[in-house]
Amino acid sequence: MKLYSFFRSSASYRVRIALGLKGLAYDYHPVDLRSEQDLSAYLSVNPQGLVPALEDQGDIFIQSLAIIEYLEETHPQPPLLPSTAAQRARVRGLAQVVACEIHPLDNLRVLNYLGGPMKQGEEVKLAWYRHWIAVGLGCLEALLKDHPATGRFCHGDSPTLADICLVPQLYNARRFQCELSPYPTLLRIDAACAALPAFQNACPEAQPDAG
């Protein structure tokens, strides 16, 4: 398998964690989204021009959650989704709070649009960033704390798709110095994840293109 990735991309980070948890080896193909040359060559892989993309047996897959579901179906062990339909819906819902509500608003191309065509300064961009982090993480905290299915991780005592989405989002939040003390449950789960090699090896600093 070949992973098209950018070290700092939050969606790439998710897939790296999933590959690590599954114990799958892969070739790391760096794509620097800030380089016109890299981006233009990459459009033949993914016309969306976004990372990650995963190449497996001649097929190319895009969108991090679709890629992780593919890995789950083709390499079921260890499972990244729980065993019942209702439990899986909870985990997918938590993951999508990050993937459909927080991250899309706070990624590079959106910040570039705010600073470019919309001519907004750094302060407005930072306020935007922190606003959507606070709204989204506040919601996740409410969904997780006191819920009987929340365990050492977002769902039970082994990592799932929800943790895979949570950890890169918290990484980004720290990068932008967001206040995280209102989210004690998220911080507790983040610490549990940080103890696992799959999460350690997937972090941006550990990638070959980190810099």
Interface residue list for a second copy (CB under 8 A): 47-50, 57, 59, 61-63, 65-67, 69-70, 73-74, 85-86, 88-90, 92-93, 95-97, 99-101, 103-105, 110, 113, 117-118, 120, 124, 127-128, 131, 139, 142-143
Compute the least distance from the CB of residue 200 to a second copy, in Å. Answer: 26
What is the H or E stretch that residue 198 is in?
Answer: helix 197-202
Name the residue among 144, 162, 145, 157 with its Cα closest to residue 195. 157
Cβ proximity of 202 and 12 under 8 Å: no
Residue (143 or 180) nearer to a second copy, CB = 143
HSE-CB for 28 with a 13 A CA cutoff: 19
Structure tokens belonging to residue 150: 């929340």
Residue (64 or 196) nearer to a second copy, CB = 64
SS3 190: helix
Compute the least distance from the CB of residue 185 to a second copy, in Å. Answer: 13
Residue (99 or 202) nearer to a second copy, CB = 99
Question: CA 199, 10, 45, 76 torsion: positive or negative?
Answer: positive
Residue (16 or 103) nearer to a second copy, CB = 103
Cβ proximity of 166 and 101 under 8 Å: no
Name the residue among 101, 113, 188 with its Cα closest to residue 137. 101
Question: CA 98, 85, 145, 151 torsion: positive or negative?
Answer: negative
Residue (50 or 196) nearer to a second copy, CB = 50
